[in-house]
Structures are given as structure tokens and as C-alpha cells.
């Protein structure tokens, strides 16, 4: 199947409308229309009706220049597109001396194409405009003082000065200063975010009241913004299944219409001696009516509008197909830590076993955790800081996904992780088990610390559900999600407590990354299509196994952007029900568009064959259908 639907293409869905071409086209259209008006005026208001025919012919010729050019190109590729149909219809109309019809058809057609191209462009630009958010030059500070540098020349490591009210030009990390930054252009989040030393800032966002010095971390082509724009653009290029269906449909549709037109023009004349002019005219009307313009744009225009709308809310949908799939999702499965919980954990218990002090226990744990990415690590490190203990530098640190972390500190091998990990290694004692159970009973997650195969103690960390998590779960139910599940590597009792607070149906705890994949498959076979919501890297296999993988807090995380089918820039859970509603609305929108365009076509084909439709009515119907389809689709951009 061809990449572009040229064989049935209307102007917009056909080839590259070069900007200058579009401009000249506009003028030709205007001149053709003016000539039509002049011709009508001659006929009605002046005593020179003999001028009307030449004026109509002139209008036809001017208006037909571009369609003829395109028709020729289509024929050389051995395809039949709408331009061919139009040119045949116009030549036919001239042959039977219907000059007025020919001129009206041509100018209406030109005007329609011009209008459609405009509105489709506008939907596309909504995304392209994101890139314009970035500046063209950057204020850089180096040995020579401050100077403006072309944005393409700025390499990672350079120091960028961001003045109050400036757009931030590149991704980077704040080195000094404090400010509030409006990230709405990327995240859709209306409240500004506070930024100070050590925080990440992103290209395309807008600085508030303070001045910032920012160390650039990515070249312009690699910024989060550039990647988002690139991903959305390639999303638009890929075709949704619905669209593939329409392409297949059009493959046999256009040739059959041409056959039917030939039969209408010849059979009644030859078999029943009917007048040739009448039946040729009906055949021409049929040709014009049969343009599947509205049908061809019905899906892409809805998808593009939905993608643009989602992008405005900080939701990046990487292909139309993910929206179609999401609309059919029956189960939503959440990861726990960092997804339904804030991921900002606190260490609330440190219980040594044996002679060690609590401070030493925290110090040892913090030493290995200092090189871990897990949210638990941050909790242990800040507890160490609060207690005034200094972690040592660890060596040979290794993450044990879903279980814990291990490494060497001053020659001893330290392991931090779940009771399960310790049991598997045969170091768990009954005393440690009892302490861990006590910590679980208090609603904390236990982290067992062992040195050289001996358990030294158990830490308790607490994580809180995001404030809106329970509401989001009930919101999902209200939107027709049959089952909400939580899949986590955490301890069973802790997971159950969180699960019942949020009101999920199904809690699966103690799941390693591979178990999460099995859990997804189980959910799918029991209840139907599954959407997995996770927070990135360690959930990657589960995200890939689900029918739709949604990653939260994707801004600034390249890995998250890669793994996800749908990436939510912020960590606002409410974007999940929003995206599901949007996907359903998009599918409904596409169905309405397809029904409208096929219905209108069918009605007009009947009118054409029975001789009740005229050529210009046919063009008007076609234009009307396309305009309705576009208007209907564009509503998705404002969907909330
Ligand atoms: P979730 O599925 O809830 O996101 P993970 O799969 O990331 O959780 O981790 C599962 C469990 O493994 C955690 O609850 C924790 O007990 C343990 N764990 C993972 N990484 C670490 C670490 N760096 N330090 C201590 N414990 C860890
Ligand atoms: Mg997680």
C-alpha cells in the first residue's frame, strides 16, 4: 500500500502543497471566482448576454490550471485521483456546452480545496508551534563575560543566563538563582514550578520573576521539547488501523465509480436510445459526487486534532493507534511507588538488630543507596543527612530490580532490600522477620540491611498515595474501566493497605519486573485489553507487554519517553482518565465522520443516477461534507 493516499487523494491529502504554490493557487481561485461573478452579472444585468459564455469559459480555464496539472501527475503514476475526475467532468461539461456548470464546478472545487488545506494546516501547526517556543540565540556567560550565541552553537556544559520573563532556550540544570518557571507550554500544568540550584529546567518553558544561571545539558536537537515535537510529528505520519481500512476501501472504490460512470454514459444511450447529453451529464455528476474527500480526511484530521489537544495538556501520544487501543481498554494497572504514590518517601524507623546503633545502620544503608536511583534511596539519604551521619563511598554497586541494591563499603559487602531478597540469600533470621513484620504492621515498607551475610537491622520507609489517587481510581470506573489493578514489588501487607485506601480491585505485591509482565498477561486474558501506568525504566517490560504503556513524569527522562506509548509529562494521575476519555471521544469522532461522509455520498450517488443532482450541487455536497468533517474533528483540540 502506498504511503500517501494519492490514488484517491484530494488536494490536502495529496502531495506537498508548496507555500508559494499555495499562494499562487489562492490567486487563481480568486480570479476564477471573479470571472464567474462577472459572467453572471453580464447575463443578468446587461444587454450583452453573449459575453457570459466566453467569461464562463475563461473562468473554467483559469480555475482548471492547477487541477489539470495535478491530474496529469496522477495519470503519469497510473492512478485516478479527484483531480482527474474533476478535469474529466469539466471537459465533459464543455462538450455538452454546459459552460456555466463547468465554471461553477471548477471554482467551487478550487475554493473547497483551498479551505480544507487551510484548516488542516491549522491543526498541524498547533504542534509545530511548540518548537517556535524556543529562542534562536542564547545569553551565555564565559571567561569573556556575557554574550549572545547562536542556539545551534551552544554545547552541553555552557552556562546560560536566563533573565526574568525570558523563554528558557535549552534544557539544563540550575546552577544559581531562584525563580518560578511556567512549564505549561510542555506540561499543560498551569501552576508555575519553583526552581533553584540543582533543579532541571526545560527548553520552551518560561521563566518567572527571578534570574537563573543554568548549566546547559542538551544540544538544541536533543532537548525534551525537540524530542516531543519529533515524536508527535512521526505520530502523525503513522497510520491508525481505521485509516488503513479507508485506504483499502478507496483502492477499489475509485475504479468502480469510474466504471459505473462509463456504464451510465453509454448503456442507456446504446440500449434504449436515450439522449446522449442527459446521460453523459449524469455520469459526470456521479464522477464529481464520488470524490471520497471527506472520507479520506475523516480519520487523519480527527487524530491530528486529538494529538494536538493531548499535547496541550502535557500528554504525548506517540501514534494514533495508541489512542484507538486506549479507547478499548478494560483494565488499568498501576505501578505503586512513584506512580500512585508520591515517590517522595520518608524514613520513619531504623531498628538495629544486635549491638549496632541506629545511626550506623542508616550510614551503612545510605552508603550503598548513594548510587541507587530508587525513590527509597532518596529517603535513606535524606535521613542520613538529617541525622548528621556521612555515608562512605561505595564500590561495585549493583541494582537488583524489584528487590534491592548491593555494593561494597570499606571492604564489607552490604545488601539493602526486601525480606524476600534476604530469604533467597539465606540470611534472614526469625528475629529480623519479627522486626520487619512489626514495621509492616505500622504501615511502613521494610528495608532489611545485611553486611557480609549477617542482618544488621531493618529500616522502615513510608510512602503516601498522591492526594488525587483515590479520585482518579473512581474516575476511571466512571469512565467504563472494568477493573483497576495495582502491581508492585513492595511488601504484600503495605501494598494491600495502599490498595484499599485507593479502592483498587486487584493488588499484586512482591512482583519482580518479570512477574509484572505475567500479571499483565493474566489480567488481559481474564478481563480484556490492559493499560499499564508506570514511572519508567524499571517498569519497561510491563509497559511493553501491556496493550498501551503510559509513563508518568516523563519530562526530562529520555528513557521514559522511549518506553512509553503515551507519555504524561507531569506526574498528575488525573491525566490518565483524561486521556482515556479523549481516546473514546476520538474514536466516536472518527466514526461520526466516516458515517457522515459515506452517508452523504450514498445519498448523492442516488440523486446523481436518478438525474436529480446537478454538477455544482455535487461539488457543494462534497465541500460541505469535508467542511463538516474538519469542523467536527477540530473540536477534539479543545476536549478536556
Ligand atoms: P514498585 O513496583 O512499587 O515501583 P520496585 O519494583 O521499584 O517497586 O521495588 C520493589 C521493592 O524492592 C521495593 O518496595 C523495595 O522494598 C525493594 N527495593 C528496590 N530497590 C531498592 C533499593 N535501592 N533499596 C532498598 N530497597 C529496594
Ligand atoms: Mg516503581
Position 3 scores a pLDDT of: 35
Most ligand 1 atoms within 8 A of CB, residue of 337, 341, 532 to mutate = 337
Which cell numbers hold the place of 566?
503515551
Position 4 scores a pLDDT of: 36
67 lines ligand 1 (CB under 6 A): no
CB-based burial label for 299 (10 Å; 0-12, 13-18, 19+): buried
Most ligand 1 atoms within 8 A of CB, residue of 488, 489, 492 to mutate = 489
* Ligand whose nearest atom lies closest to the CA of 511: 1
Best CA proximity match to 174, nearest among 618, 556, 590? 556
Gap from CA of 238 to ligand 1 centroid (Å): 37
Most ligand 1 atoms within 8 A of CB, residue of 394, 403, 469, 534 to mutate = 403
Buried-state track 101-117, b at ≥16 Cβ within 10 A, e below 16? bbbbbbbbbbbbbbbbb
Which cell numbers hold the place of 28?
487563481
CA-proximal residue: ligand 1, atom 4 (nearest): 337
336 lines ligand 1 (CB under 6 A): yes
Q: Where are the domains of the chain?
A: 19-126+234-303+587-638, 135-219, 342-464
CB 140 within 8 A of CB 127: no
404 lines ligand 1 (CB under 6 A): yes
pTM of this prediction? 0.76
Gap from CA of 66 to ligand 1 centroid (Å): 64
Mean pLDDT of 562-588: 91
**What does the pLDDT look like over 262-293, one tens digit per residue?**
898 899 889 888 888 888 888 887 777 776 66
445 lines ligand 1 (CB under 6 A): yes
100 versus 549: which is more confidently predicted?
549
CA-proximal residue: ligand 1, atom 8 (nearest): 489
Mean pLDDT of 575-582: 95
Q: Which of 72-86, 106-120, 596-610 has the highest mean pLDDT?
A: 596-610
* Ligand whose nearest atom lies closest to the CA of 450: 1
80 versus 498: which is more confidently predicted?
498
Position 232 scores a pLDDT of: 67
Does the pLDDT at position 193 exceed 50?
Answer: yes
Does the pLDDT at position 114 exceed 90?
Answer: no
Does the pLDDT at position 9 exceed 60?
Answer: no
- Nearest ligand 1 atom to alpha carbon 535: 4
Best CA proximity match to 636, nearest among 245, 232, 299, 132? 299
CA distance 544 to 541: 5
Does the pLDDT at position 134 exceed 80?
Answer: no
**What does the pLDDT look like over 454-463, one tens digit per residue?**
999 999 999 8
CB 98 within 8 A of CB 142: no
Position 126 scores a pLDDT of: 58
Best CA proximity match to 605, nearest among 246, 13, 101, 597? 597
Position 244 scores a pLDDT of: 64
DSSP secondary structure letter of residue 574: T
Q: Which residues form the catalytic set?
A: 335
Of the pLDDT bands very low, low, confident and very high (cuts 50, 70, 90), residue 172 is very high
Of the pLDDT bands very low, low, confident and very high (cuts 50, 70, 90), residue 116 is low
Gap from CA of 638 to ligand 2 centroid (Å): 32
35 versus 601: which is more confidently predicted?
35
Architecture of domain 135-219: Distorted Sandwich (2.70)
Mean pLDDT of 207-216: 91
Which cell numbers hold the place of 365?
544503608
Q: Which helix (H) or strand (E) holds 455?
A: strand 454-462
CB 535 within 8 A of CB 497: no
Strand 566-568 relative to strand 548-551, pairing:
parallel
**What does the pLDDT look like over 452-488, one tens digit per residue?**
999 999 999 998 899 999 999 999 999 989 999 999 9
Position 422 scores a pLDDT of: 94
Cell 500528554, residue?
A: 315
- Non-local (6+) Cβ contacts of 539 within 8 A are 335, 513, 516, 532, 563
Fold (CATH) for 342-464: Calcium-transporting ATPase, cytoplasmic domain N (3.40.1110)
Does the pLDDT at position 522 exceed 60?
Answer: yes
- Nearest ligand 1 atom to alpha carbon 491: 14
372 lines ligand 1 (CB under 6 A): yes
270 versus 240: which is more confidently predicted?
270
Position 7 scores a pLDDT of: 35
Does the pLDDT at position 20 exceed 60?
Answer: no
Does the pLDDT at position 42 exceed 90?
Answer: no
549 lines ligand 1 (CB under 6 A): no
402 lines ligand 1 (CB under 6 A): yes
Query: Of the ranges 178-187, 476-485, 525-534, 543-552, which one carries the lowest mean pLDDT score?
Result: 178-187
Q: Which of 337-346, 422-431, 552-561 has the highest mean pLDDT?
A: 422-431
Position 292 scores a pLDDT of: 66
Amino acid at each position: 500500500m502506498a504511503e500517501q493516499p494519492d490514488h484517491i487523494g484530494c488536494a490536502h491529502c495529496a502531495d506537498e502543497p508548496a507555500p508559494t504554490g499555495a499562494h499562487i493557487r489562492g490567486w487563481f481561485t480568486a480570479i476564477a471566482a471573479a470571472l464567474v461573478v462577472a459572467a453572471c452579472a453580464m447575463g443578468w444585468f446587461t444587454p450583452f448576454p453573449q459575453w457570459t459564455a466566453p467569461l464562463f469559459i475563461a473562468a473554467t480555464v483559469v480555475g482548471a490550471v492547477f487541477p489539470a496539472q495535478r491530474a496529469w501527475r496522477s495519470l503519469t503514476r497510473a492512478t485516478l485521483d479527484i483531480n482527474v475526475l474533476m478535469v474529466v467532468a469539466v471537459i465533459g461539461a464543455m462538450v455538452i456546452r454546459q459552460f456555466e456548470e463547468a465554471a461553477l464546478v471548477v471554482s467551487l472545487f478550487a475554493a473547497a480545496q483551498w479551505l480544507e488545506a487551510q484548516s488542516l494546516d491549522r491543526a498541524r501547526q498547533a504542534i509545530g508551534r511548540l518548537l517556535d517556543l524556543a529562542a534562536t540565540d542564547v545569553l551565555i556567560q564565559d571567561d569573556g563575560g556575557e554574550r549572545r550565541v547562536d542556539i545551534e552553537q551552544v554545547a552541553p556544559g555552557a552556562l546560560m543566563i536566563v533573565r526574568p520573563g525570558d523563554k528558557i532556550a535549552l534544557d539544563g540544570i540550575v546552577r544559581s538563582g531562584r525563580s518560578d518557571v511556567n512549564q505549561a507550554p510542555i506540561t499543560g500544568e498551569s501552576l508555575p514550578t519553583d526552581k533553584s540550584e540543582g533543579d532541571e529546567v526545560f527548553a520552551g518553558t518560561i521563566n518567572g520573576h527571578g534570574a537563573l544561571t543554568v548549566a546547559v545539558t542538551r544540544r538544541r536537537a536533543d532537548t525534551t521539547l525537540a524530542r516531543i515535537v519529533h515524536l508527535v510529528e512521526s505520530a502523525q505520519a503513522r497510520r491508525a488501523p481505521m485509516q488503513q481500512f479507508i485506504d483499502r476501501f478507496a483502492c477499489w472504490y475509485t475504479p468502480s465509480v469510474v466504471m459505473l460512470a462509463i456504464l451510465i454514459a453509454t448503456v442507456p444511450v446504446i440500449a434504449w436510445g436515450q439522449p446522449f447529453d442527459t446521460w453523459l451529464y449524469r455520469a459526470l455528476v456521479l464522477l464529481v459526487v464520488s470524490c471520497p474527500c471527506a472520507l479520506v480526511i475523516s480519520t487523519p484530521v480527527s487524530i491530528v486534532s486529538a494529538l494536538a489537544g493531548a499535547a496541550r495538556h502535557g500528554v504525548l501520544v506517540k501514534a494514533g493507534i495508541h489512542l484507538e487501543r486506549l479507547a478499548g481498554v478494560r483494565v488499568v494497572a498501576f505501578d505503586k511507588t512513584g506512580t500512585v504514590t508520591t515517590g517522595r518517601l520518608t524514613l520513619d524507623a531504623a531498628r538495629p538488630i544486635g549491638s549496632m546503633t541506629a545511626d550506623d545502620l542508616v550510614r551503612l544503608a545510605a552508603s550503598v543507596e548513594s548510587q541507587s536511583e530508587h525513590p527509597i534511596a532518596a529517603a535513606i539519604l535524606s535521613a542520613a543527612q538529617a541525622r548528621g551521619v556521612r555515608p562512605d563511598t561505595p564500590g561495585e554497586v549493583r541494582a537488583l530490580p524489584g528487590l534491592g541494591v548491593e555494593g561494597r563499603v570499606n571492604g564489607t559487602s552490604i545488601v539493602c532490600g526486601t525480606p524476600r531478597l534476604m530469604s533467597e540469600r539465606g540470611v534472614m533470621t526469625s528475629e529480623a522477620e519479627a522486626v520487619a513484620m512489626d514495621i509492616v504492621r505500622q504501615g511502613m515498607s521494610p528495608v532489611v540491611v545485611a553486611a557480609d551475610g549477617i542482618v544488621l537491622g531493618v529500616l522502615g520507609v513510608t510512602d503516601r498515595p498522591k492526594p488525587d489517587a483515590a479520585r482518579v481510581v473512581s474516575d476511571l470506573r466512571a469512565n467504563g474501566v472494568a477493573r483497576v489493578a495495582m502491581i508492585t514489588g513492595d511488601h504484600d501487607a503495605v501494598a494491600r493497605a495502599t490498595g484499599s485506601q485507593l479502592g483498587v480491585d486487584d493488588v499484586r505485591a512482591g512482583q519482580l519486573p518479570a512477574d509484572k509482565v505475567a500479571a499483565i498477561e493474566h489480567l488481559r486474558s481474564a478481563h480484556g485489553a490492559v493499560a499499564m501506568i508506570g514511572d519508567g525504566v524499571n517498569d519497561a517490560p510491563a509497559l511493553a507487554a501491556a496493550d498501551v504503556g503510559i509513563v508518568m513524569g516523563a519530562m526530562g527522562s529520555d528513557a521514559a519517553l522511549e518506553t512509553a506509548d503515551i507519555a504524561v509529562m507531569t506526574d498528575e494521575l488525573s491525566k490518565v482518565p483524561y486521556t482515556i476519555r479523549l481516546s473514546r471521544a476520538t474514536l466516536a469522532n472518527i466514526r461520526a465522520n466516516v458515517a457522515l461522509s459515506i452517508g452523504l455520498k450514498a445519498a448523492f450517488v442516488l440523486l446523481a443516477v436518478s438525474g436529480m443532482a446537478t454538477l455544482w450541487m455535487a461539488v457543494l455536497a462534497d465541500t460541505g461534507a469535508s467542511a463538516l468533517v474538519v469542523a467536527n474533528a477540530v473540536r477534539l483540540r479543545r476536549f478536556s
